[in-house]
Structure formats: structure tokens, C-alpha cells
């Protein structure tokens, strides 16, 4: 213990020092006699002081008697015994004092000193016994009696044996050395006791020892006052008595602390603790989610916590004191009553069941009833939510079992453990996999692995489910017989308490048919229907892959565009079925000539593409290799094909482009090969031509021209030129309308250039309409001119125009709107135009003929026209193609053809026009052959209407 930190200790030390110092000073001073004038006053003071000591002793006895508990009784007996003796001797000391009224014996100083010394000895002995922890067994009465008896013995000793004892006081001289020595011994004993008590205090911090120490010290010091007085009324003696009173007060204080202060402090502390505990308990009760109610033996409410009141929907004040019977519904009370009675008899019990709130709500609860003193305590738990959850759980378990049944009936189900080992399968699983249940259980699904999916596919699957997530996907499995089947698979992991999957359920649906249909659809989407070759879409994909591969490997690849020369004629003359058969044969030949890595595709019509890969990294060798292969192709494709007993040779034009590190766009490569192929065609067909970047310029120019062409009509850049058609006397019978395009930058653009472009992009429809209308306006205008009123105008009609459903209506509307005479309008068609949908074309021609319009068959002789076919057409005129006229004088064949056409026309009752007549000799030959109508530069080039001559004017050439 830290003495500086204990104020009590500091005060005790101070008190000891002061008392000691005071006594030293008092002893050092000369004798101070008191009460000299009135010695009887000292008797009163002495009696008073001694009575204080007696009272304190009695109080100590009383406290010890009444306040110390049973356990401390042996220690209390020590105090009772000691302080009874002290009280008795002190009282005797006071009463037998010299001058006090006689009481049984006459008083004297010696007798008084005898009782004084006996009292001090008893007092020192008592304190010593206390210090030694002495315990006197037995009842307090016994020890009180013992003390009284001992006191009686002392009393008798004092009265009868005093003369035989050594002197303690000599009047006029004061205390004897015998008494002084006894006092010193008593003083020393007290001071030793003080030291012992202080030590105990320092060790145990028990104030009782502090006060006892202080008492012993003060009394020990006070004892010295009685060693050298002369008269008992001397100041020093009085001081000694005061020390004694102070010492006794300290003893009382110690006894008070032990018997009253400490127990009360303890009691107060324990009450505090009890109160705190009660508050805590109360708070606990307030916040408890379970209802607690304490009932008296008549089952009236003594206490109820808020949860109980809430469950009844009542305030606590309304519940207190009320019989339980009136608080809960009668059915519940009837159920509870046996339990309550059982608890009143000391037995606990519990009950689980439904009850009804005052509002009529049906709830569920659990009650535990326990004995509680004279009454009972009931603890109610509202288990409605738990019950509802249980019901739901039951329901969901029932549903789960329904779902399981449904699953079993409709899905392919398998259970596996966490490692994927099959633990359970349903019948459908066995059926689709063709394995028996025994063969599957204990195996993993790798038994069914079809090798369709890469390892990464299954790695991803496992990654997903091992994380406790559901995996969905389509899997191709292999059945026991080796056949493949597809299943839409959902794998659901069942996660355990440790958060890791413990087992998996795999639910599958057979999607084999759907996958087959998809594969078929994909095949159709990516392949040409006629030849079964990859189509443009698949080619584009393969090209993309090939170019990427080429970039990676540095190896060259090549794209070969193959177009059949004159295939159109095959179609036109032999029909589409034969054309298709030819295409199939070409496709077959191509496939025979490529390697596994290569791709043969058909883009449409007679266009095929060959994609060659892995041609090597040396450009020269690559070119040499490609040239060889392209030549082989050209030769093989040029070999005759057998089509329904007809041998036919169709040469190919092949355009080639190479690709390597430049990751050219797939479409760009096809375009390049296409350009090269056109170059091959331009170069005379049946050729192999490599792509040259200059070709791109051509394509670009074409694109620019097309752009301008789209605006030409709006910009009024077209005009019609007219070329005279004359008779044998070179009189103008009519004209052929030929379109001209006055391009703002390029000047006059030939129709041979832009008409094919317009055909390709569909602009020919609006251009054709413009031509027809302009020609009709011209006819209407000439109708007013007697010189030209009977001229006809021949208009070139394109296939796309003629094939329009409303072509007839369009023509009729133009004739109506322009006021032209339909009989003066002539339409020039080519043989190739008439191949498609011939009956429909004929019907349109017939309607137009009924309107008065006449038809000429242009470029006649260049196609495969048959006699029967010609007969069916509602034609009026044949035009011998310029190519025959050109060589009519030099080539016997062309001369024969020209002559035949004239004869044919006559036979069929058709007019014949020879076009492209440039020389008088040509004309003469034609006249000699029977031809009567002519057209050509010999009679006039195409010119504007205003520049035409007059109808009866004989042209300059004649
Ligand atoms: N659908 C349409 N086609 C049209 C139209 N206008 C013209 N064309 C077709 O364009 C091709 C080229 O026509 P063009 O350059 O006008 O050439 C014609 C005559 O100028 C030319 N011709 C006539 N006589 C001679 C000759 O003695 N020598 C010679 N070198 N050329 C001559 O022949 C072309 C007429 O041919 P055709 O139509 O077959 O009678 C051409 O195919 C036109 O058909 C149009 O409005 N619509």
C-alpha cells in the first residue's frame, strides 16, 4: 500500500506524533497540581472521565453482542469478556476512589489504583486477544458471566488482599516504582500492540486495525502519564485519563466499524449491486423477445414483461393484477391450466399450440411453465413465424418432390459428387446414353465425351460450378453405340456449409433434332443450293481466316475468280436446266482439282472462286505454282462436257490475285480477282490474268461514272440522236432512236459504256422510260410535219424494262400523254431478252401490237434462235447484225448468213433490216440478196432530230 496515497494513514501517524509529543512535553514539564482548592471537583471530573470509559466499554460489549453475526460470535465473545472486565474494573476504579461515598468498602487511592491496573491489564489483554484473533466458543452470556465472576474475584482480591500487595501509591510522594514499572509494562504492551495493528492495517487496509492501532498507541502513551504523578489530581494524571478516553473512543470506533460501518457498507454495496442487477434484469425482461409472466398462487399476474403484454396487445398497467384467465382466450387457458396447476405443485411443464389474440388473429406459441416461489412463472415464445416457415418448408418440400417427379419424367437427370463422379441417374439418362445405370454410377461424364468440345470448354464449365454458380450450355455427347447426341445442359451446384459445392445436379434436355436442323440450316445458309459448294458468305469467312493465317505464317495464298465464257448463251439456247447441269459439272471438276486446305465456292451464275492457301513464301515460286494450277484449271474446264447427249465446251476466264502479309479485306480480294477476270475476258476470254493495281483505276472510274449517271436524268444531260432507216432508194422510212449522254466533264459518253452500267444498277428503267417518252414526243411532233409524218421511230428496249409487270401500262400511258401514233413506234428487242419467261413476254408483245406497236429483233444471227421459236414470237422485223454485214463481202459464211436471214424473213413474212451498212458494195450485195431496208453510216450517222434530212430526200451516199 502506498502510505502517501492513504490520507487515513497520514492522519493516524500525525495523531500518534502529536499525542507522543504532547506526552513528552507534559512529562518534561514540572508538576502541575490541579483542584488544589477544591479537591472534591476532581472526583466529579475523574468519575465523568471513567464513566466515559465505562460507557464506551459497555457500547463495545453491546455492539459485539448484538451486531456480530453467528459466524463471528467466538470473536465477539472475546470483546464481551474483555470489555465487561474493563467496564467493571473501571467502574470499580471510579467508585472506590478516595473521597467517593463508601460502597461496601471504604474507598482509597491504592484500591482505586488496584482496579485501575486490573482494568488496564484487562484492556491490554483484550486487545492482545483481538490482535491474536482469539475466539471464545460458547454463548455471549457464558463469557459475560465469566467476566462478571472474574471481576467479582478481583473485587474480593482488591478488598481483602490489597494490604498484602506491594504499595502502588504513597501519599505526598506519588506513585511507587512498582506501579510505575507496571505502567511501563502496560505502556510497552500497548505500544507493541499498536505496532502490530498498524502493520495489519498497512497490509490489509482494514480501518478497524488503524483505529485499534491508534487506540493502543494513545493508551500506551497515556499510560506513561501514570508513572510519576504525586497527586492523582495532577494535570499529568488528568491528561492520562483524557488519553484513555481518546483511546477508548478509538476502540469504540473500531468496534463500530466492524459491527456497524463495514456491514452497512457491505450491505449498501450489495444493495447497490442488487439494484443494478435488478435494473439489468428489468432491461433484459423489457427487451426479451419472449413473453414472461409471473403469476401468484391464484394465477393473477404479478409481473409481465412487454413481450407478453404485446402478444396480448395490452399495456402492462392493464395486465398487472388481472387473472390470467381473463387475459387469454378460454381455449388456450384450458390448455394451460393443467400445466399451471402442475407448476403450483412444484413441477415444470411445457406446451406448444395455437392461440387467438384479442383481435381474433390466430397465432402459434410455445409455453414453458415453472414453479416460482408460491406462484408460477410462464415463458411464452411466439412461434408463429417459425410455424409459418415450417409450413412453407413442408410445402416447398412437397413442391420439390413434385418438381423432382416432373424433372424425372421430362428431363435427363444426373447427380454427381463434388468430384464429378456420377451418384445417381434417371431412366432418361440411361435411355439417351444407352448405358445401364450400373455402368454409369461411379463413372464421370468423360465416359460420354464426344471430342466435339475443346478442353477449354470443360475447364470453363468446371470453373463456373466449382464457384457455386449455375452453368448452362449445349453439350454434344457420345452414346454407347458411338452415335452423337446433343443436350441442353444446366448444372446446379449444391453448396455446403463451408461454401463449397458438395454435389451437382445436371438437368439435360435432348436437343439433337434442333441441332441437326440448325446444322442443316447453317449448311444451307453457307452453301450454294445447286452445286453444294460454299457460297459467298462462307467464302468470305474462309478468306478472313486465310488472310489472318497468311499474316501469321507469311505464306502466300491466292484467290482465283473463274467465269465461264459464253455461259449465257448456253442458258439462252439450251435452257436453264442444261445450264445448271453444266455448272454442276464445272463445280465437280473444280473440287477434284483442289487440295484439302483449299476452298471452291460459287458466288452465283457462272462465277466460281478458288481460294488456295499455304502456297509458300517465295513470290516467284508462288506465282509459278499458281500459273501452273490456273492453267490446269483452264484446260480442264475447257474440256467438253456431256449435257444430255450434247457435247459442249465452255472455256473459263480466270482472274488471279495473291495475298500475304497485307491483311487485305476478303471482299477486296474477291474484287481484285474479279477485275483480273474481266481483264482476261477483255483479252479475248479463255485466259488466265493476274490482278494489276491499274485495274483498280478502271473500277474506280466506273464507280465515278455510275455516281454521275444517277444524276444525269435530273440534270437533263441525256438527249436522243436518230439514225435514218432507208429503203432501196435510200429514202428515209424512219429512224432508230439512240441515246446520248452529254457529261459535263467527260463530254459525250457512249451508250455502249453507260447502258450496261445503267442495266447493272437498275437505272435503265427510268432511262428507258425517258427514251420512250422523248421518242413519242418526237413522233407527235413529226406527225405535224407532212415530210416526216409517216416516219417510224425504233426504240431499244432493255430486258429489265420489258420484264416489268406494268410495262404495257407504262407504254400506253406514254402514248396517251404524248399523243404519239402507236403505229409509228417500233421496239427493238434482242434474242437474249426473250429467253426468260417467254409466254409472258409474248403476251405483253401481243397487247402492244394490238395497240399498233411493231417489234424488231435486233442483233439477229448472233444467238441461237431456232425456227420454231421465231414463229412463236409476234415479230415484225429482223435486223441483221452489223457483225455479219461487216464481212459480207469478204467472208462467205457471213454472206451466207446474211442471205439466209433475208430469206428467212421472207418465209416468215417479216421485214428485214440490214444494220451497219457502211459501203455501197455492201448495200449492193444486200439488195441482190433481196434485202429492202437498210441502216448504217452509208445513209447517215445518228444525229439530232433537227439535223435529219427529209423523208423523200435521197441520201448523199447513193
Ligand atoms: N437500251 C437502249 N440501248 C441503247 C439506246 N441507245 C443506244 N443503245 C445501245 O447502245 C449501243 C451503242 O449504241 P450507239 O453507240 O448509239 O451505236 C449505234 C449506232 O451508232 C451504231 N451504228 C449504226 N450504223 C453503224 C455503222 O454503219 N457503222 C458503225 N460502226 N456503227 C453503226 O450501231 C448502234 C446501234 O445498234 P443497235 O441498237 O444494235 O441497232 C447499242 O447496242 C445500242 O443498242 C437506248 O436508248 N436504249
| Range in 41-45, 428-432, 902-906 the model is least confident about | 41-45
Within a domain: residue 645?
yes
Per residue in 57-110, pLDDT (tens digit) is 888 888 888 765 566 788 888 888 998 999 999 898 888 888 888 766 778 888
Within a domain: residue 6?
no
Q: In the prediction, which pLDDT does 934 show?
A: 96
Q: Which of 347, 363, 383 is the last residue of a domain?
A: 383
CB 343 within 8 A of CB 328: no
Q: Whose CA is nearest to atom 42 of ligand 1?
A: 752
Per residue in 629-659, pLDDT (tens digit) is 999 999 999 999 988 778 888 899 999 998 8
Domain that holds residue 259: 38-264
Q: In the prediction, which pLDDT does 958 show?
A: 38
Query: What's the CATH code of the domain at 661?
Result: 3.30.70.270
Cell of 334: 384450458
How far from 718 is each of 735, 750, 801, CA to CA, in Å?
Answer: 18, 11, 18
Shortest-distance atom of ligand 1 to CA 797: 1
- Does residue 736 surpass a pLDDT of 80? yes
Q: For residues 584 and 620, state if they share a domain.
A: yes
Residue 859 alpha carbon to ligand 1 centre in Å: 10
- Which DSSP helix (H) or strand (E) runs through 762? none
Residue 889 alpha carbon to ligand 1 centre in Å: 22
Within a domain: residue 407?
yes
| Range in 179-193, 361-375, 458-472, 628-642 the model is least confident about | 361-375
Q: Which of 477, 510, 543 is the last residue of a domain?
A: 510
The runs of H, that is alpha helices, within 257-314 are: 262-287, 306-312
Q: In the prediction, which pLDDT does 880 show?
A: 94
Within a domain: residue 706?
no
Half-sphere exposure (Cβ direction) of 809: Cα atoms closer than 13 Å: 3
Residue 831 alpha carbon to ligand 1 centre in Å: 16
Shortest-distance atom of ligand 1 to CA 721: 16
The runs of H, that is alpha helices, within 288-383 are: 306-312, 316-319, 324-327, 330-344
SS3 call for 639 = coil
Within a domain: residue 520?
no
Q: Ligand 1 pocket: which of 723, 738, 754, 935 to mutate (most atoms <8 Å of CB)? A: 738
Q: For residues 602 and 657, state if they share a domain.
A: yes
Query: What's the CATH code of the domain at 152?
Result: 1.20.1070
Within a domain: residue 555?
yes
Q: For residues 557 and 688, state if they share a domain.
A: yes
Q: For residues 324 and 368, state if they share a domain.
A: yes
Q: For residues 538 and 555, state if they share a domain.
A: yes
When pLDDT is cut at 50, 70 and 90, the band that residue 528 belongs to is: very high
Q: In the prediction, which pLDDT does 335 show?
A: 85
Q: For residues 372 and 426, state if they share a domain.
A: no
Query: What's the CATH code of the domain at 851?
Result: 3.20.20.450
Residue 769 alpha carbon to ligand 1 centre in Å: 18
Which residues lie with the beta carbon below 6 Å from any ligand 1 atom? 723, 736, 738-739, 750-752, 755, 771, 796, 798, 858-859, 915-918, 935-937, 942
Q: For residues 480 and 547, state if they share a domain.
A: no
**707 or 486, which is more confident:** 486
Q: For residues 908 and 934, state if they share a domain.
A: yes
Partners of residue 223 on adjacent β-strands: none
- Does residue 700 surpass a pLDDT of 90? no
What is the spatial distance between Cα 760 and Cα 799, in angstroms, rounded to a whole number?
Answer: 11
When pLDDT is cut at 50, 70 and 90, the band that residue 4 belongs to is: low
Q: Ligand 1 pocket: which of 751, 764, 774, 828 to mutate (most atoms <8 Å of CB)? A: 751
| Number of domains, the chain | 5
Residue 866 alpha carbon to ligand 1 centre in Å: 25
Q: In the prediction, which pLDDT does 314 show?
A: 59
Per-residue pLDDT averaged across 516-543, rounded?
91
**Whole-model pTM over 0.90:** no
- Does residue 267 surpass a pLDDT of 90? no
Residue 738 alpha carbon to ligand 1 centre in Å: 6
DSSP labels, 413-444: EEEEETT--EEEE-HHHHHHH---HHHHTT--
Shortest-distance atom of ligand 1 to CA 885: 27
Q: Whose CA is nearest to atom 25 of ligand 1?
A: 916
Residue 725 alpha carbon to ligand 1 centre in Å: 13
**Among 453, 456, 487, CA closest to 472:** 487
**Among 448, 553, 548, CA closest to 506:** 448
User: What integer best gives the mean pLDDT of the chain?
Assistant: 88
Within a domain: residue 901?
yes
Q: For residues 95 and 184, state if they share a domain.
A: yes
Q: In the prediction, which pLDDT does 278 show?
A: 83
Long-range pairs, 483-490, Cβ under 8 A, ≥24? 484/450, 484/452, 484/512, 485/432, 485/510, 485/512, 486/510, 486/511, 486/512, 486/514, 486/515, 487/412, 487/432, 487/511, 487/512
Q: In the prediction, which pLDDT does 695 show?
A: 63
Q: Ligand 1 pocket: which of 737, 775, 796 to mutate (most atoms <8 Å of CB)? A: 796
Per-residue pLDDT averaged across 491-496, rounded?
90
- Say what the alpha-carbon torsion angle 740, 743, 747, 748 is, to the nearest 10 degrees: -10
Per residue in 350-372, pLDDT (tens digit) is 888 877 776 777 778 888 888 88
Within a domain: residue 715?
no
Q: For residues 58 and 190, state if they share a domain.
A: yes
Grid cell 470453373 in the structure block, residue: 463
- Which DSSP helix (H) or strand (E) runs through 474? strand 471-478
Q: For residues 772 and 859, state if they share a domain.
A: yes
How far from 278 is each of 179, 352, 495, 581, CA to CA, in Å?
Answer: 62, 30, 46, 107
* One-letter-per-residue 3-state SS of 87-113: HHHHHHHHHCCCCCCCECECCCHHHHH
Per residue in 790-800, pLDDT (tens digit) is 999 999 999 89
Query: What's the CATH code of the domain at 371?
Result: 3.30.450.20
Q: In the prediction, which pLDDT does 918 show?
A: 96
Shortest-distance atom of ligand 1 to CA 915: 24
Per residue in 685-696, pLDDT (tens digit) is 898 988 877 666
| Range in 129-133, 502-506, 697-701, 802-806 the model is least confident about | 697-701
How far from 257 is each of 212, 250, 272, 505, 832, CA to CA, in Å?
Answer: 11, 10, 20, 80, 139
Going 853 to 859 to 864 to 866, the CA torsion angle's sign is positive
| Range in 574-578, 587-591, 726-730, 880-884 the model is least confident about | 574-578
The pLDDT > 70 percentage for the chain reads: 95
Residue 500 alpha carbon to ligand 1 centre in Å: 85
CB 546 within 8 A of CB 611: yes
**Among 918, 925, 933, 867, CA closest to 892:** 925
What is the spatial distance between Cα 185 and Cα 635, in angstroms, rounded to a whole number?
Answer: 153
The pLDDT > 90 percentage for the chain reads: 49
Residue 751 alpha carbon to ligand 1 centre in Å: 8
Q: For residues 86 and 207, state if they share a domain.
A: yes
Amino acid at each position: 500500500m502506498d502510505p502517501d496515497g492513504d490520507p487515513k494513514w497520514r492522519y493516524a501517524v500525525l495523531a500518534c506524533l502529536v499525542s507522543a509529543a504532547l506526552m513528552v512535553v507534559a512529562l518534561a514539564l514540572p508538576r502541575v497540581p490541579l483542584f488544589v482548592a477544591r479537591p472534591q471537583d476532581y472526583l466529579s471530573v475523574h468519575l465523568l472521565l471513567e464513566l466515559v470509559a465505562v460507557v464506551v466499554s459497555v457500547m463495545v460489549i453491546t455492539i459485539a453482542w448484538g451486531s456480530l453475526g453467528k459466524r463471528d460470535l467466538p470473536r465477539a465473545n472475546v470483546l464481551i469478556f474483555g470489555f465487561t472486565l474493563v467496564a467493571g474494573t473501571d467502574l470499580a476504579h471510579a467508585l472506590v476512589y478516595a473521597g467517593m461515598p463508601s460502597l461496601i468498602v471504604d474507598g482509597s487511592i491504592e484500591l482505586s489504583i488496584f482496579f485501575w491496573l486490573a482494568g488496564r491489564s484487562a484492556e491490554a489483554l483484550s486487545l492482545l486477544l483481538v490482535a491474536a484473533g482469539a475466539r471464545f466458543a460458547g454463548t455471549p452470556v457464558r463469557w459475560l458471566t465469566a467476566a462478571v465472576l472474574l471481576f467479582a474475584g478481583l473485587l474480593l482480591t482488591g478488598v481483602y488482599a490489597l494490604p498484602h500487595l506491594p504499595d502502588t501509591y504513597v501519599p505526598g510522594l506519588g506513585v511507587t516504582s512498582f506501579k510505575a514499572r507496571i505502567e511501563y509494562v502496560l505502556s510497552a504492551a500497548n505500544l507493541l500492540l499498536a505496532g502490530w495493528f498498524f502493520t495489519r492495517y498497512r497490509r490489509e487496509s482494514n480501518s478497524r486495525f488503524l483505529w485499534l492501532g491508534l487506540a493502543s498507541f494513545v493508551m500506551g502513551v497515556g499510560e506513561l502519564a501514570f508513572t510519576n504523578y504525586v497527586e492523582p489530581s495532577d494535570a499529568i494524571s488528568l491528561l492520562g485519563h483524557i488519553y484513555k478516553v481518546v483511546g477508548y473512543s478509538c476502540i469504540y470506533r473500531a468496534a463500530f466499524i466492524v459491527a456497524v460501518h463495514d456491514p452497512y457498507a457491505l450491505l449498501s454495496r450489495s444493495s447497490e449491486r442488487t439494484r443494478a442487477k435488478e435494473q439489468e434484469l428489468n432491461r433484459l425482461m423489457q427487451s426479451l423477445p419472449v413473453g414472461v409472466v409471473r403469476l401468484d398462487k391464484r394465477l393473477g399476474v404479478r409481473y409481465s414483461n412487454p413481450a407478453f403484454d404485446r402478444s396480448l396487445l395490452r399495456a402492462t398497467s392493464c395486465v398487472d393484477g388481472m387473472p390470467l384467465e381473463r387475459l387469454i382466450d378460454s381455449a388456450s387457458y384450458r390448455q394451460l391450466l393443467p400445466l399451471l396447476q402442475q407448476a403450483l405443485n412444484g413441477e415444470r411443464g411445457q406446451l406448444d399450440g395455437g392461440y387467438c389474440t384479442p383481435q381474433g388473429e390466430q397465432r402459434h406459441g410455445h409455453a414453458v411453465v415453472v414453479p416460482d416461489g408460491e406462484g408460477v412463472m410462464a415463458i411464452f415464445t411466439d412461434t408463429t413465424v417459425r410455424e409459418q416457415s415450417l409450413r412453407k418448408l413442408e410445402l416447398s418440400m412437397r413442391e420439390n418432390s413434385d418438381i423432382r417427379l416432373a424433372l424425372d419424367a421430362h428431363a435427363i437427370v444426373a447427380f454427381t459428387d463434388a468430384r464429378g463422379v456420377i451418384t445417381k441417374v434417371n431412366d432418361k439418362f440411361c435411355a439417351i446414353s444407352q448405358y445401364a445405370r450400373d455402368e454409369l454410377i461411379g463413372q464421370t461424364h468423360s465416359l460420354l465425351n464426344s471430342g466435339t468440345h475443346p478442353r477449354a470448354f470443360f475447364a470453363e464449365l468446371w470453373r463456373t460450378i466449382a464457384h457455386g454458380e449455375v452453368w448452362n450450355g449445349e453439350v454434344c455427347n457420345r452414346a454407347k453405340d458411338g452415335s452423337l447426341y446433343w443436350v441442353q445442359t444446366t448444372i446446379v451446384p449444391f453448396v455446403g456449409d463451408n461454401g463449397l459445392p458438395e454435389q451437382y445436379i445436371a438437368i439435360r434436355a435432348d436437343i439433337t433434332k434442333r441441332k441437326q436442323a440448325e446444322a442443316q440450316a447453317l449448311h444451307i445458309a453457307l452453301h450454294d443450293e445447286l452445286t453444294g459448294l460454299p457460297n459467298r458468305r462462307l467464302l468470305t469467312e474462309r478468306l478472313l481466316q486465310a488472310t489472318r493465317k497468311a499474316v501469321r505464317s507469311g505464306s502466300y495464298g491466292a484467290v482465283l475468280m473463274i467465269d465461264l465464257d459464253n455461259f449465257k448463251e448456253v442458258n439462252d439456247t439450251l435452257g436453264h436446266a442444261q445450264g445448271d447441269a453444266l455448272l454442276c459439272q464445272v463445280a465437280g471438276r473444280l473440287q477434284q482439282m483442289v487440295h484439302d486446305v483449299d476452298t471452291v465456292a460459287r458466288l452465283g451464275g457462272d462465277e466460281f472462286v478458288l481460294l488456295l492457301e499455304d502456297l509458300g513464301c517465295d513470290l516467284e515460286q508462288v506465282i509459278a505454282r499458281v500459273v501452273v494450277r490456273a492453267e490446269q484449271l483452264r484446260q480442264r474446264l475447257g474440256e467438253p462436257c456431256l449435257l444430255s447427249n450434247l457435247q459442249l465446251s465452255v472455256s473459263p476466264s480466270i482472274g488471279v490475285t495473291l495475298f500475304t502479309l497485307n491483311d487485305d479485306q476478303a471482299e477486296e480480294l474477291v474484287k481484285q480477282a474479279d477485275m483480273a477476270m474481266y481483264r482476261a475476258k477483255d483479252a479475248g476470254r479463255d485466259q488466265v490474268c493476274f490482278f494489276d493495281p491499274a485495274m483498280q483505276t478502271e473500277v474506280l472510274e466506273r464507280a465515278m461514272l455510275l455516281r454521275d449517271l444517277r444524276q444525269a436524268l435530273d440534270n437533263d444531260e441525256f438527249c436522243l440522236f436518230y439514225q435514218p432507216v432507208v429503203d432501196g432508194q435510200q429514202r428515209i422510212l424512219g429512224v432508230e432512236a439512240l441515246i446520248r449522254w452529254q457529261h459535263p466533264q467527260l463530254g459525250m459518253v457512249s451508250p455502249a459504256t453507260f447502258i450496261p452500267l445503267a442495266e447493272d444498277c437498275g437505272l435503265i428503267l427510268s432511262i428507258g422510260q425517258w427514251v420512250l417518252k422523248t421518242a413519242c414526243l418526237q413522233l407527235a411532233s413529226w406527225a405535224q410535219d407532212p415530210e416526216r409524218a409517216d416516219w417510224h421511230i425504233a426504240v431499244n428496249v432493255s430486258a429489265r424494262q420489258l420484264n416489268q409487270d406494268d410495262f404495257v401500262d407504262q407504254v400506253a400511258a406514254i402514248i396517251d400523254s404524248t399523243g404519239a401514233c402507236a403505229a409509228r413506234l417500233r421496239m427493238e428487242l434482242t434474242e437474249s431478252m426473250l429467253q426468260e419467261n417467254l409466254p409472258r413476254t409474248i403476251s405483253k408483245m401481243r397487247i402492244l401490237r394490238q395497240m399498233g406497236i411493231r417489234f424488231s429483233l435486233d442483233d439477229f444471227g448472233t444467238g441461237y434462235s431456232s425456227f420454231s421459236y421465231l414463229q412463236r414470237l409476234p415479230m415484225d422485223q429482223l435486223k441483221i447484225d452489223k457483225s455479219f454485214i461487216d464481212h459480207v463481202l469478204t467472208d462467205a459464211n457471213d454472206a451466207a448468213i446474211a442471205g439466209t436471214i433475208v430469206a428467212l424473213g421472207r418465209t416468215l413474212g417479216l421485214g428485214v433490216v440490214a444494220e451497219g451498212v457502211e459501203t455501197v458494195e455492201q448495200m449492193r450485195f444486200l439488195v441482190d440478196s433481196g434485202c429492202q431496208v437498210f441502216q448504217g453510216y452509208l445513209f447517215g450517222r445518228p444525229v439530232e432530230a433537227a439535223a435529219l434530212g427529209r423523208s423523200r430526200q435521197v441520201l448523199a451516199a447513193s
